[in-house]
């Protein structure tokens, strides 16, 4: 197995003994914003302004994450509030 690295030691890809590869696209902060798996399928990752994972999508489905911005209910700012699948499934968290 061979692993590729960026200048800051972030992993940029892996080649397996069978020749198949997984590659990662990194943004300027070395966050993974894209991944191409061993069969060529792309998964995209998006982050919000506070560096939290906001969305993952693969062309078939997507997951959107929400985080607390209100402390009036004793919630910690940035605490996960829930997730929504593109297929209209929603999950919410209460603390």
Longest dimension (CA), the chain: 54
- What pLDDT digit, counting tens, does each position of 6-17 carry? 889 999 999 999
- 0.75 exceeded by the pTM? yes
Q: Give the start-to-end residue ranges of the domains of the chain.
A: 1-40, 45-95
Q: Quick one: DSSP state of residue 7?
A: T
Q: Tell me which residue of 55, 70, 24 sits closest to 10, measured CA to CA.
A: 24
- What pLDDT digit, counting tens, does each position of 23-79 carry? 999 999 999 999 999 999 999 999 999 899 999 999 889 999 999 887 676 667 788
Q: What CA–CA distance (Å, rounded) separates 32 from 46?
A: 9
Q: Do residues 64 and 84 lie in contact, with contact meaning Cβ atoms separated by under 8 Å?
A: yes
Residue recorded with tokens 């692993």:
3
């Amino acid at each position: 197995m061979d692993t590729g690295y960026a200048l800051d030691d972030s992993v940029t890809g892996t080649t397996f003994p069978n020749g198949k590869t997984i590659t990662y696209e990194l943004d300027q902060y070395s966050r993974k914003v894209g991944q191409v798996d061993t069969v060529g399928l792309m998964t995209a990752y998006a982050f919000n302004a506070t560096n939290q994972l906001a969305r993952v999508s693969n062309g078939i489905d997507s997951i959107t994450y929400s985080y607390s911005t209100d402390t009036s209910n004793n919630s910690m700012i940035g605490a996960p509030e829930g997730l929504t699948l593109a297929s209209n499934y929603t999950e919410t968290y209460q603390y």
